[in-house]
Amino acid sequence: MTETSAPARPRFPLPPRAARLFVLTAVFICAACGLVYELALVAIGSYLLGDTITQASVVLSVMVFAMGVGSLLSKRLQAHPALSFAVIEGLLSLVGGLSVLLLYGAFAWFSAYQPALVLLSFLIGVLIGVEIPLLMTLIQKIRRQDASEAVADLFAADYVGGLIGGLAFPFLLLPLLGLPKGALMVGALNAVVGVAVVLWLFRQELSRRAHLGLGLGLALVVGFLALAYAYAEQFEMDARQALYRDPIVHAERSEYQEIVVTRSFDGKDVRLFLNGALQFSTLDEYRYHEALVHPVMSGTHEDVLILGGGDGLAVREILRYDDVDSVTVVDLDPAVVELATTDPVISDLNEDSFQDPRVEVINTDAFQWLRENREDFDVVIADLPDGMDVGTSKLYTAEFYSLLDQGLDEQGRVVVQAGSPFFAPDAFWSVGHSLEETGLAATPYNVDVPTFGNWGFYLAAEGSAPELWLSEDTPELRFLDDSLLAAAQVFPVDRREEEGVEESTLMHPRIIDYHRGEWRGY
């Protein structure tokens, strides 16, 4: 009888233990790259749409489902695991690396962001799902071991790689390279590691044609990603310009948001946008800021607190009162304040308000600052972004207004910009309920600002609802007077409060749903 010999083990350029460590290192790096792709998809969604929870939910759910699909598809590729893994990594690096630019282009030129997000999440998920079973096969080719041990080794390297990728994304890639270039750089690393491990370690399993094809494919993928990297800034500029009517004269991405300034061809209309949302136009900003500031300044106003207002325009109106002793501005983003201080058009518009010695600027989160505040103010002005997402909705909650109330002097008054009573009436009336939940009595009013549309505010104080009036020391105004303030308290029948509108809280941020439901279609 002849004995049946065991299949010959493949020969590798390294001892089995070292070769296995080499593959596990590749698993570690590829896992880090895969998590970066995932985080990049979530981040670009939060930048463009400001809706982190929804974007994260879509990306995670679609990718997990797609990874299951990819795992099933990997069965068809097990006959040639090394070659299949190299091809999959090349495709993954190309799709993942280009994902941010593709999504930005879909948003700017085709208004097809959501379908593009789902498609890219699915493709990346499928490719990641395929690579895991293939890696398992490659590890067992190097060193035969129990399946449980191989799974443990593979998942350990995968999870640690995910940790490193998750930490590198916010602390290294975004600060140093930004979102588009960071994704492209990670894509190139993914391609080099994924394909190189096959070209070197498993080269004896490849035919000459396959070896040359993988080498050429790697060169093409890295070259294409490098070309995209070189033109990433120009692509971003072109896509960004497609979103705005007028030419962009300033654009930057701060730690917190995208800041864009546009100027019309005749130079008369300069606009500031934060994450695509209009903050002011030089044509009519005085209407908004006069309505925001002067009614609340009709009482005692020696010490004033502004929450938001980093453009300095509310500060400008406050400093028109000679008896103001101090103005404290709490704005999250120092880049906005820097722009308002250094840009000649904006600094001229705000009359260099931040240079006044009575003004102190604190760059921090308004909610956290109020929690730690021990000062009392005569006037508090909440000039904050609408509560359309998780990050801003907390600034329109009963808890926030309770903290704000603690910083009010006994006779102090507060004004809150509350969005549009026309476009989002339930969101507007919810702000009033949130104020009243804390014990503040609020008076709603609304004015027309052409570039915004109909816009609303609440004047609030402890005790009875404050009256709207302008004091004798109110400076000369271009827009507001007592007769307009009287009319501002009248709301049309179809925009008056309806039953069922509730306050917004940290645990129940209803204002998000009100905004989402009501702004849809405008």
The residues carrying an active-site annotation are 383
Backbone angles phi, psi at 463, to 5 degrees: 90, -130
What are 346's two structure tokens? 């904006």
3-class DSSP string for 65-86: HHHHHHHHHHHHHCCCHHHHHH
List C-alpha distances in Å: 169 to 105, 124, 175, 253: 22, 17, 9, 16
Question: Quick one: which of 313, 309, 307, 306 has its CA closest to 281?
Answer: 313
* Contact between 181 and 230 (Cβ < 8 Å): no
Residue 329 CA neighbour count, 13 Å, CB half:
28
- DSSP assignment of 255-300: SS-EEEEEE-TTS--EEEEETTEEEEETTTHHHHHHHHHTTGGGS-
How far is Cα 421 from Cα 417, in angstroms, rounded to an integer?
A: 11
- Going by the DSSP 8-state scheme, the letter that residue 495 receives in this structure is G
Backbone angles phi, psi at 258, to 5 degrees: -90, 130
- Going by the DSSP 8-state scheme, the letter that residue 394 receives in this structure is G
How far is Cα 277 from Cα 289, in angstroms, rounded to an integer?
A: 17
Helices (H), 11-80: 16-49, 52-73
How far is Cα 63 from Cα 121, in angstroms, rounded to an integer?
A: 5
What are 245's two structure tokens? 């009517």
What are 36's two structure tokens? 């970066």
* Contact between 61 and 125 (Cβ < 8 Å): no
What are 147's two structure tokens? 């399946």
In the three-class reduction of DSSP (H, G, I as helix; E, B as strand; rest coil), residue 493 is classed as: helix
